[in-house]
A and B are shown apart, each in its own frame.
Chain A
Amino acid sequence: GNSVTQMEGPVTLSEEAFLTINCTYTATGYPSLFWYVQYPGEGLQLLLKATKADDKGSNKGFEATYRKETTSFHLEKGSVQVSDSAVYFCALQMDSSYKLIFGSGTRLLVRP
């Protein structure tokens, strides 16, 4: 079946460090891919998305590129801030469905 695998956290970084959170997917077909972020005590918010291969989603300094050849959608940011501390969820959505299939989430902790 369709699924999303994320790196286990927590990921702990110092402020201004480079961030990568890995996400790979398994899907029959060509899904749309998403990153959602959940700040402490909040619900999930859409961070960025990409709907086809080689597309790059970007928002708030975060980027992710849809790589069909490696079935990946890794999240990156060049310089993290303390305010980026949150749980990040990778998700996919198949062509024929409205359903979002989420990964388990990766907690990011940024220290001053």
Chain B
Amino acid sequence: SQQGEEDPQALSIQEGENATMNCSYKTSINNLQWYRQNSGRGLVHLILIRSNEREKHSGRLRVTLDTSKKSSSLLITASRAADTASYFCATDANDYKLSFGAGTTVTVRA
């Protein structure tokens, strides 16, 4: 069964706006990762946050992790057309397996 669930399923924003998506999971984790998938392509790793971290930044990306609520959020600031993609969270429960959610589809309108 899938560990992570993203919310919302789809998001449409104007170029320049911020996009926020959330991920909830069920069991204790070692780390949580976010990936991007452009249409018809493989997944690309964006950021990894470990269970003892609360916030991490990478360029225009900001990820938070709240282990007490078993949730994470991904914020993309100042969105661009190139940010149009599906975004997936994936959790590592320290069992050699990465468990993915169903993803959030983000559309950035020009």
A binds B: no
